[in-house]
Amino acid sequence: MRDYILRSARYIAADCLRRFLLPGDTAVDATMGNGHDTLFLCELVGEKGRVYAFDIQRQAIENTKALLAENGLLENATLYQCGHERMAEMIRTPVQAVMFNLGWLPGGDKRVTTKWETTETAVRQALDLLAPEGICVICVYPGHEAGNLERIRLKEILSGLRPQEYNVLHHCFLNAGESAPECFIIQKQICKGKILDKYAE
């Protein structure tokens, strides 16, 4: 049996991070939820790495704390109960990866969902924070109104990024229907030996 199976947008995003992140790296979980992505990132960057995670809901913070503590990784993460649009305010150093899993808290109130206005701000900040060759992965869920708007607008702004500065991949299943989850993967470029990054002088 072959090892490779074409799987979901979520799987593609995780596989990309699994292949990219190294022990000691710094990563951001921009949408903490119940903490599974935060845990995943903590496992990848190891005890010498650091994960910053954001969510506006207190329940998300508590769920994530419990999950990290259960796995002995609570000390590896810094959890912020605030919107991811404050990412640049809280993180002052370059990061190797940023992960967005848009939508609502699984098992929570579906009326509380990510909104394009703050998602756009957070994504732009994430791209600025990326170290050279760093990656940003974004899973979007167009099966509800807010998610569909995020998908449409993300495609618009990411299509406009200069290819000399970023490579952008859009992963979607063409035969899965309009509501199927989609994934965007963005990698910051190094061009002609010059680092295109605000941290390089």
Question: Domain total for the chain?
Answer: 1
Asked if the structure places residue 162 within a domain, the reply is yes
Nearest C-alpha neighbor of 186 from the set 173, 170, 164: 170
* Six token digits for residue 25: 């790296």
| pLDDT tens digits along 177-187 | 888 899 999 99
Angle formed by the axes of helices 116-129 and 145-159, nearest 10°: 40
Which residues, in sequence order, are CB contacts of 62 under 8 Å at separation 6+? none
Is residue 120 included in any domain, yes or no? yes
Residue 200 is assigned to a structural domain of this protein: no
The token pair that represents 162 in the structure block: 């200069």
Q: Which domain holds residue 93?
A: 9-195
What are the Cα distances from residue 115, in Å, to 121, 147, 149? 10, 8, 9
For residue 1, what pLDDT is reported?
A: 65
Residue with tokens 């002609």: 192
148 assigned to some structural domain: yes
User: In CATH, what number is assigned to the domain containing residue 60?
Assistant: 3.40.50.150
- Is the residue at 39 inside a domain? yes
Q: What is the pLDDT of residue 195?
A: 44
Question: Per the domain annotation, does 85 fall within a domain?
Answer: yes
**pLDDT computed for residue 23 by the predictor:** 97
Q: What is the DSSP letter of 26?
A: E
DSSP string, 111-169: TSB--HHHHHHHHHHHHHHEEEEEEEEEEE-TTSHHHHHHHHHHHHHHHTS-TTTEEEE
pLDDT value of position 193 = 46
Residue 3 lies in a domain: no
Is position 1 within any domain? no
Residues of the chain below pLDDT 70: 1, 104-112, 191-201
pLDDT for position 7: 83
137 and 16 Cβ atoms separated by less than 8 Å: yes
pLDDT at residue 135, rounded to an integer: 97
